[in-house]
Structures are given as structure tokens and as C-alpha cells.
Amino acid sequence: QKEVEQNSGPLSVPEGAIASLNCTYSDRGSQSFFWYRQYSGKSPELIMSIYSNGDKEDGRFTAQLNKASQYVSLLIRDSQPSDSATYLCAVPYNTDKLIFGTGTRLQVFP
């Protein structure tokens, strides 16, 4: 059974700080990784995807992938209260399906 593990949190950071969200996965053959953001009472929305080792930056968001350690992370720089949400890590399996982690709840306080 393929697994995606995340710390459920909550992760509390002050406004302006860097929030670091982590995810580990069990399938060494995984090639692509996704981060979804889910606000309370809303549905998930894709915010980042990463396919190769290293860093991928998009605005205040940076995804980091280390395939050897089976570890993917999401950094949010200059965190804002509007970033408060649950962040879901997702990994594909069987070509057209995703397996999701349980999510990490992030709280950014002013």
C-alpha cells in the first residue's frame, strides 16, 4: 500500500515568517508531486507541482524535492494570515490517480 505521510499540525507561525511543511512518501518510483491548499469548508486547490530533484519557486512558495530521501517539502515565505489553511501533499499512482496525505494545518498569526 503506497503511503503519503504528513504531520497533522497545527503548525503555528507568526506573520512574515517562513512556514515549512513536510511530506514523506513510500513509493520510490514516484516521479511527480503536488501540493494542494484547502481552506476551511472549501475544496482543495492545486498550488504547486514538482517533478525533479531540487527546488521549484513560484512567488512566495518553494517546493523542494529529495527523491533519495523520499521527501518533499513546501516553504511559504513571508507568511500571511491568508495562508492559514490545510496543505495536502499528493503523489500519483497507477497513472491517473492521486494518493493524498492527511494534510498539515497551518496557522499564521498576526
Question: Residues in the site for another protein, rule: CB under 8 A?
Answer: 8, 32, 34, 42-46, 49, 88, 92, 95-103
CB of 93 to another protein, least distance (A): 10
- For another protein, the closer CB: 17 or 98: 98
CB of 44 to another protein, least distance (A): 5
- For another protein, the closer CB: 2 or 14: 2
The set of residues, in sequence order, having a beta carbon less than 8 Å from that of 63 and lying 6+ positions away, is 33, 35, 48, 49, 50, 55, 56, 72, 73, 74, 75
CA 40 to chain centre: 16
